[in-house]
Amino acid sequence: MSGLPENLMYTDSHAWLRQDDDGLVTLGVTEYGQSLLGDLVFIQFPEVGAHIDEGDTIATLESVKSAWDVLAPVAMTIEAINEELVDQPERVNEDAFGEGWLVRVRISEELDTLMDADAYKDFASE
């Protein structure tokens, strides 16, 4: 698993999180996670302003093979969704760590319980 960004935190459900300078957190799905699904055809997003509890679904990714719920690792409030993915869900397949981000959220707790890049590499290779 090469090219895994070191500045992100990772979950065991193959999501990544980045603490941004404006106090928000950007969240997406990892390259490995999207590869398990195959070509995405639809993404169901929550509404902006929605409160998502830890363990609840943030977004549902649908591919020609299956559907997958991206789960919240901590409680969060949705501040923005990646509107471009509504018409172009394949951007997640093309650029999972860049233009394929899913949502920007506000959280009130630390992300220190999540995995760093090395721990995620070990987890995903099991």
Residue ranges covered by each domain of the chain: 20-125
Check residue 55 and give its pLDDT. Answer: 94
Q: Is 65 a residue whose pLDDT tops 90?
A: no
Q: Is 57 a residue whose pLDDT tops 80?
A: yes
Check residue 1 and give its pLDDT. Answer: 52
- Domain over 20-125 is classified CATH 2.40.160.40: no
Q: Is 5 a residue whose pLDDT tops 80?
A: yes
Quick one: which of 35, 15, 34 has its CA closest to 25?
15
Check residue 112 and give its pLDDT. Answer: 82
pTM of the model: 0.93
22-56 pLDDT per residue, tens: 999 999 999 999 998 999 999 999 999 999 999 99
What is the rounded CA–CA span in Å between residue 72 and residue 13?
A: 9
User: Which strands form 25-29's sheet, in the order they lie side by side?
Assistant: 9-10, 15-19, 25-29, 103-107, 76-81, 51-52
Q: Is 113 a residue whose pLDDT tops 90?
A: no
Check residue 2 and give its pLDDT. Answer: 56
Mean pLDDT of all residues belonging to the chain: 93
Check residue 15 and give its pLDDT. Answer: 95
* 109-113: average pLDDT: 84
